[in-house]
Chain A
Amino acid sequence: MKSYKLRRKISDTAIYALLTLLAILWLLPIVYLVLQSFRAENGAYTEYIIPKGFTLDNYIRLFTETDLFNYPKWYLNTLIVAIFTCIISTLMVLMISYAFSRLRFPSRKTYMNLGLILGMFPGFMSMIAVYYLLKIIGLGQSLISLVLVYSSSAALGYFVAKGFFDTLPRSLDEAATIDGASRNQIFWKITLPLSKPIIVYTALTSFVAPFADFIFVSVIMKDNYNQYTLSLGLFQMLSRENIFAYFTRFCAGSVLVAIPVGLLFMFLQRYYVSGVTGGAVKG
């Protein structure tokens, strides 16, 4: 009995030690990022880790020195694109997946397989064609073009939501049909109110996507700095000619991106988990 207790104590201590070590490894880059964002000294690299002087200047200058890099504008751009992409792609994904899950119509399978196949091509393979198309339509370097491109690629990610709708009991639909409800009413008034987890999951992933992408932004916006989103803008700050002057501001800018995205994720993580595992884990 005693040896068992001892063994458990040793294994627990080992786990605590390992977890502490891992926690440090995982937190170190974040701490470094935050420290650098407050660093008073200039330059990209310093010979030491902890800054010698602390300042809020990096944050303030992001919003005051906007001649070359207009950080507030990027932030606004990203928010606009993210909000509209979120609304449009969530609606579309829900509509598509509901149609595939609940409605029976000719060539439904063909349609679904086509979506599956399209999703397997590398997304940015087609960016040159998209660029030409947008130029012809007259949406060249606009934020609308980003929303359209992100939404149309999000539309192909209907599998998770379809899996969710498949699990909802069909008897609800049938009962409503008997009561004289149309398909349209069933979708909006019965199915959607029951689908909060999948709505939140879809909205969360499509909201965050514009924060991460910079391939399409760089192809569509070229060198029109004012139309950049945060990711591509911050990336510019680290280019060879800018990194010396802008590294600390890059860190400050990143912290300001991380806070809202992080908070959003913290609050909605259980929906994320249930979404990824296809409803196997209840949100």
Chain B
Amino acid sequence: MNKSRRAPKVLRYAAEVVTAFAKGDAVTRLSFLVMGLWGFARRTFARGAVYLFTQIAYIAYMIVFGGKYLVKFTTLGTQTQGKVFDEELGIYIYTQGDNSVEILLFGTLTVIITILFFIVWASNCRAAYKSQLAQKRGEHIVTLKEQIASLDSKNYHITLLSIPTLLVTTFTLLPLIFMVLMAFTNFDKAHQPPGNLFTWVGFDNFTSILGGNDKISYTFVRLLGWTVLWAILSTFTNYIFGMILALMINKKSIKFKKGWRMVFISTIAIPQFVTLMLMSQLLHAQGGINILIQQLGLADSPIGFLTDPLLAKITVVIVNMWIGIPYSMLIITGILSNIPEDMYEAARIDGAGPVRVFFKITLPYMLFVTTPYLITQFVGNINNFNIIYLLTGGGPLTLEYYQAGKTDLLVTWLYKQTVNEQNYNLAAVIGIAVFIITAVASIIVYNRSAAATKEEQFG
């Protein structure tokens, strides 16, 4: 939907540039080559200077920095680091070769900068033609000063969005494109620049994860299954039990409501990583919980809460409940207090019992309000790195899997492939897979909730 709307816009823009050239006079046409020339010719010097400066800066960038990476972008480097024996010094001297990582990263940067430059160039061409028309009609040509002034009101979005855009492009967009491209290379442990270069391999990594390599694809399928199961289990256990807890405290006849809530909320106070590290100590073979169990005579030997494959999975779900239930209780309590009282009254007059009231009023209202919250929780749980990494470290390790353990999620596998194994290409493919899962899940739920919001507003 988005694409179909976008393509004409780009085409329209391109058409305007073509028209500008076709109908432009000499100055306008020359401005295609020397940006900002029209500004000097038509007495809006400042605007012309800005365009000219941009062009000079771009050319300088390409000569000094970008060009050499762009040239090698198709091969990602051919010259490996050399080793030459220096007779005089009696040592080996390394000659600098290509570095595929740098070529890929700065090549991508250069491509982005080039695209941006072309956008500026196109706006230069349009502005040149516009100024030509304005001059012909004897109208006033907009000056730089007026443009800057418009940033305060008419073009205020540029003021607000430019810095965030710059930051996000540099630290999120560029690195992401880089990583996505990496999925199409053979940048693994055996191809580490500058000693060994890597190059483009097309879709090889995708085919190997989808069945080409038995062990990797087996690991992928199993971890994918566990990731989805985990995300569903952890999201809904927290939600349901949080709701039960909130309803119990909210019951009219229960006293010390604030006190009870405070007890559970106080656990939120402790940063998650502290809780998780502490829990992993408590659940250790010699940890507090095993000591307690053995002293009470409930077991003879330590229980492998974190080392038994099935038990470890149950453990992470339960620990996650310990962490998450106070949050969902807090939120659900807030929502409960917001349900319009007259809805309950109407139900009571109709003679509905508490169970019916819950299923007919409380639950639908809650789901209505918390759908976005549930989506973010679900997505957050797919990416829930901390809990797995800090509790089990993905373990227990198994030889059936490719460098992964039984409780590893796709994201912790990704982390291990990057940091421990340096199989960046595999990591990139996993990352893309995680993206697809989150995107599909979000779109499905979003469409459903969008359909719901089109109906009458609740309450």
Interface segment, one of A53-61, A63-71, A104-112, A193-201:
A104-112
Tell whether, in the assembled complex, residue B379 and residue A120 are in contact, meaning their CB atoms are under 8 Å apart: yes
Tell whether, in the assembled complex, residue A23 and residue B264 are in contact, meaning their CB atoms are under 8 Å apart: yes
Which B residues, 236 to 252, have Cβ-Cβ distances below 8 Å to chain A? 245, 248-249, 251
CB neighbours (8 Å) of B55 from chain A are none
Interface segment, one of B38-46, B75-83, B165-173, B195-203:
B165-173
Interface status of A202 (Cβ within 8 A of chain B) = no
Tell whether, in the assembled complex, residue B270 and residue A30 are in contact, meaning their CB atoms are under 8 Å apart: yes
Query: What is the interface residue range for chain A against chain B?
Result: 35 or more
Interface status of A127 (Cβ within 8 A of chain B) = yes
Tell whether, in the assembled complex, residue A45 and residue B172 are in contact, meaning their CB atoms are under 8 Å apart: no
Tell whether, in the assembled complex, residue A27 and residue B263 are in contact, meaning their CB atoms are under 8 Å apart: yes
Given the known interface contacts A29-B278, A212-B273, the answer about A48 and B435 at a Cβ–Cβ threshold of 8 Å is: no
A231–B248 alpha-carbon span in the complex (Å): 35
Tell whether, in the assembled complex, residue A183 and residue B152 are in contact, meaning their CB atoms are under 8 Å apart: yes
Tell whether, in the assembled complex, residue A281 and residue B291 are in contact, meaning their CB atoms are under 8 Å apart: no
Tell whether, in the assembled complex, residue A47 and residue B161 are in contact, meaning their CB atoms are under 8 Å apart: no
- What's the least CB distance linking A220 to chain B, in Å? 12
- What's the least CB distance linking B128 to chain A, in Å? 20
CB neighbours (8 Å) of B284 from chain A are 45
Interface status of A12 (Cβ within 8 A of chain B) = yes
Query: What is the interface residue range for chain B against chain A?
Result: 35 or more
For B249, the closest partner residue in chain A by CB is: A19
Tell whether, in the assembled complex, residue B435 and residue A45 are in contact, meaning their CB atoms are under 8 Å apart: no
CB neighbours (8 Å) of B102 from chain A are 132
A123–B275 alpha-carbon span in the complex (Å): 22
For A16, the closest partner residue in chain B by CB is: B254
- What's the least CB distance linking A12 to chain B, in Å? 5
Interface status of B414 (Cβ within 8 A of chain A) = yes
Tell whether, in the assembled complex, residue B271 and residue A133 are in contact, meaning their CB atoms are under 8 Å apart: no
- What's the least CB distance linking A196 to chain B, in Å? 17
Which A residues, 130 to 169, have Cβ-Cβ distances below 8 Å to chain B? 130, 132-133, 148-149, 151-153, 155-156, 159
Which of B267, B292, B338, B415 interacts with A124 by CB under 8 Å? Answer: B415
For A92, the closest partner residue in chain B by CB is: B164
Which of B175, B268, B274, B372 interacts with A278 by CB under 8 Å? Answer: B372
Tell whether, in the assembled complex, residue B179 and residue A96 are in contact, meaning their CB atoms are under 8 Å apart: no
Which A residues, 107 to 127, have Cβ-Cβ distances below 8 Å to chain B? 107-111, 113, 115, 117-118, 120-127
Given the known interface contacts A29-B279, A120-B439, the answer about A258 and B414 at a Cβ–Cβ threshold of 8 Å is: no
Tell whether, in the assembled complex, residue A125 and residue B9 are in contact, meaning their CB atoms are under 8 Å apart: no
A138–B428 alpha-carbon span in the complex (Å): 26
CB neighbours (8 Å) of A280 from chain B are 335, 338, 369
Tell whether, in the assembled complex, residue A152 and residue B170 are in contact, meaning their CB atoms are under 8 Å apart: yes
Tell whether, in the assembled complex, residue A95 and residue B160 are in contact, meaning their CB atoms are under 8 Å apart: yes
A215–B415 alpha-carbon span in the complex (Å): 9
CB neighbours (8 Å) of A44 from chain B are 281
Tell whether, in the assembled complex, residue B260 and residue A23 are in contact, meaning their CB atoms are under 8 Å apart: yes
- What's the least CB distance linking A235 to chain B, in Å? 7
CB neighbours (8 Å) of B254 from chain A are 12, 15-16, 19
Given the known interface contacts A132-B105, A234-B273, A254-B278, the answer about A273 and B331 at a Cβ–Cβ threshold of 8 Å is: yes
Tell whether, in the assembled complex, residue A281 and residue B334 are in contact, meaning their CB atoms are under 8 Å apart: yes
The digit string for B324-362, where 1 denotes a CB below 8 A from any CB of A, is 001000110111011000000000000000000000000
Interface status of B211 (Cβ within 8 A of chain A) = no
Interface status of A33 (Cβ within 8 A of chain B) = yes
Which of B267, B373, B431 interacts with A26 by CB under 8 Å? Answer: B267
CB neighbours (8 Å) of B9 from chain A are 106-107
Tell whether, in the assembled complex, residue B267 and residue A152 are in contact, meaning their CB atoms are under 8 Å apart: no
Tell whether, in the assembled complex, residue B335 and residue A129 are in contact, meaning their CB atoms are under 8 Å apart: no
A23–B325 alpha-carbon span in the complex (Å): 12
The digit string for A1-45, where 1 denotes a CB below 8 A from any CB of B, is 000000010001001101100110111011011000000000011
A277–B275 alpha-carbon span in the complex (Å): 25
The digit string for B373-413, where 1 denotes a CB below 8 A from any CB of A, is 10000010001011000100000000000000000000100
Tell whether, in the assembled complex, residue A277 and residue B331 are in contact, meaning their CB atoms are under 8 Å apart: yes
Given the known interface contacts A235-B277, A277-B370, the answer about A124 and B385 at a Cβ–Cβ threshold of 8 Å is: yes
Which of A25, A156, A231, A273 interacts with B271 by CB under 8 Å? Answer: A231
Tell whether, in the assembled complex, residue B334 and residue A270 are in contact, meaning their CB atoms are under 8 Å apart: yes
A121–B180 alpha-carbon span in the complex (Å): 10
Tell whether, in the assembled complex, residue A129 and residue B273 are in contact, meaning their CB atoms are under 8 Å apart: no
Tell whether, in the assembled complex, residue A265 and residue B268 are in contact, meaning their CB atoms are under 8 Å apart: yes
CB neighbours (8 Å) of A8 from chain B are 253
Tell whether, in the assembled complex, residue A26 and residue B326 are in contact, meaning their CB atoms are under 8 Å apart: yes
A274–B369 alpha-carbon span in the complex (Å): 11
Tell whether, in the assembled complex, residue A33 and residue B278 are in contact, meaning their CB atoms are under 8 Å apart: yes
For A254, the closest partner residue in chain B by CB is: B274
CB neighbours (8 Å) of A12 from chain B are 251, 253-254
- What's the least CB distance linking A144 to chain B, in Å? 12
A276–B380 alpha-carbon span in the complex (Å): 14
- What's the least CB distance linking A45 to chain B, in Å? 4
For B173, the closest partner residue in chain A by CB is: A118
CB neighbours (8 Å) of B179 from chain A are 125-126, 128-129
Interface status of A99 (Cβ within 8 A of chain B) = yes
Interface status of B287 (Cβ within 8 A of chain A) = yes
A-B contact pairs, 19 of them (CB 8 A): A26-B267, A29-B322, A33-B270, A96-B160, A99-B160, A99-B161, A120-B379, A122-B435, A125-B431, A129-B178, A132-B105, A133-B105, A153-B171, A208-B271, A234-B273, A235-B390, A254-B271, A272-B330, A281-B331
Q: A152-B168, A261-B269 are in contact. List 7 more A-B contacts (CB 8 A).
A: A26-B322, A29-B275, A30-B270, A32-B282, A121-B176, A122-B414, A133-B170
Residues of chain A at the chain B interface (Cβ within 8 Å) = 8, 12, 15-16, 18-19, 22-23, 25-27, 29-30, 32-33, 44-49, 92, 95-96, 98-99, 103, 105-111, 113, 115, 117-118, 120-130, 132-133, 148-149, 151-153, 155-156, 159, 182-184, 187, 208, 211-212, 214-215, 218-219, 231, 234-235, 238, 247, 250-251, 254, 257-259, 261-263, 265-266, 269-270, 272-274, 276-278, 280-282
